[in-house]
Amino acid sequence: MRAAMLEAEVGDDVLDGDPSVRALEAEAAEWLGKPRALFVPSGTMANQVALGSWTRPGDEIICQRWAHVTTFEGGAAGFLHGLQSMTLGGADGRMDPAEVAEMVRPNFIHCPRTALVCLEQTHNVAGGVVVPMDEFAAVCEVAKERGIPVHLDGARLANAVVASGRAAPIWTSLVDSVSLCLSKGLGAPVGSVVAGDDDFVERAMRVRKRLGGWMRQAGLIAAAARVALSDNVQRLALDHALARNLAERLDALDGLEADPGRVETNIVMVEVSRSGMSAADLSSALGDRGVKVMPIGPQVLRFVTHCDVGQADVDTLVAAATEILAP
């Protein structure tokens, strides 16, 4: 990846184009099964470009209660685009299609316009689960029947592709726009894409410009993102197997509960309440022993495997947790 960056052909993407960025956008569009894709610096910007492209201020979006787009993007939907969120569903990452249908606003002057339905695949807060195809498709169908576009936050769509055995276009053919992170599990240092049809991408280019996300000699980072997409998708299966191994081994320790059966991809949620420690204290004690992990609730730690984590790192984690939890 470093070598590809060093050798990257670059131009000025804001003027007459950067060849490496264009190549990445074409390859990502093809992988995603969409006519066009745009390169942006982050997954948050990819989602926010999509939101800004589909909506007008005062509109409402429907998304899952713990969707990244409404929970972890700093209130950007409201701050940047004047949107409010109707959040549905529970901790499992799913939305009930009947509830989505019920919450689409009537064409009534007192109500906001329901402008967009957002899905997330895999679902982060639900522990990297793959939303099952029948439920995913049913929500898309409800939106389609009502003429409402669907955006897929596919930050980890590649993990869903590998875990489900369904190629990206099988998922994305049901939605109108999709974002994909080339960083995170795919290992690029920076970068995401947002994809859709020509009309969508024309609007998205304006929003990206407004947000300051159109980059000049971006071929240096696009080159890394191209390697991420071409070389690092299939190896995600290794991360998934390692995550399951991590869950099994932590679950075996007194005081920790991880449900290996729920680990479908590269995220492991670990409940720590029986340890007598808070997630924050345990995270800090693990940090002192060289293991970085994020508390995602008062009693829950969220572990993630990726291309820079191997079996030896899991061994280090298990040894550190064993030492901390020793009576």
Q: Which residues of this chain interact with ligand PLP, rule CB under 6 A?
A: 42-44, 47, 68, 120, 124, 153, 155, 181, 183, 192
Q: How far apart are CA 306 and CA 32, in angstroms?
A: 21
| Beta carbon of residue 271, minimum distance to ligand PLP (angstroms, whole number) | 20
| Beta carbon of residue 179, minimum distance to ligand PLP (angstroms, whole number) | 7
| Beta carbon of residue 307, minimum distance to ligand PLP (angstroms, whole number) | 16
| Beta carbon of residue 325, minimum distance to ligand PLP (angstroms, whole number) | 28
Closer CB to ligand PLP, 55 or 275, in the complex? 55
Closer CB to ligand PLP, 233 or 253, in the complex? 233
Nearest to 70 by CA among 125, 139, 15: 125
Q: How far apart are CA 77 and CA 99, in angstroms?
A: 22
Compute φ and ψ for 232, nearest 5 degrees.
-110, 5
Closer CB to ligand PLP, 148 or 188, in the complex? 188
User: 251 is written with which tokens?
Assistant: 């679950």
| Beta carbon of residue 125, minimum distance to ligand PLP (angstroms, whole number) | 8
Closer CB to ligand PLP, 195 or 321, in the complex? 195
Closer CB to ligand PLP, 47 or 305, in the complex? 47
- HSE on the CB side for 148, CA within 13 Å? 28
Q: How far is CA 136 from CA 89, 104, 116, 119, 150, in A?
A: 13, 17, 15, 8, 11
Closer CB to ligand PLP, 192 or 232, in the complex? 192
The strand pair at 177-181 and 150-154 is best described as: parallel
Nearest to 182 by CA among 235, 228, 218: 228
Q: How far apart are CA 200 and CA 202, in angstroms?
A: 5
The residue assigned the tokens 């390859």 is 27
| Beta carbon of residue 296, minimum distance to ligand PLP (angstroms, whole number) | 11
Closer CB to ligand PLP, 185 or 219, in the complex? 185
| Beta carbon of residue 47, minimum distance to ligand PLP (angstroms, whole number) | 6
Residue nearest to ligand PLP (CB): 43
| Beta carbon of residue 120, minimum distance to ligand PLP (angstroms, whole number) | 5
Instruction: Find the helix packing angle between 311-325 and 236-251, rounded to 10°.
Output: 20
Closer CB to ligand PLP, 68 or 151, in the complex? 68
Q: How far apart are CA 295 and CA 319, in angstroms?
A: 19
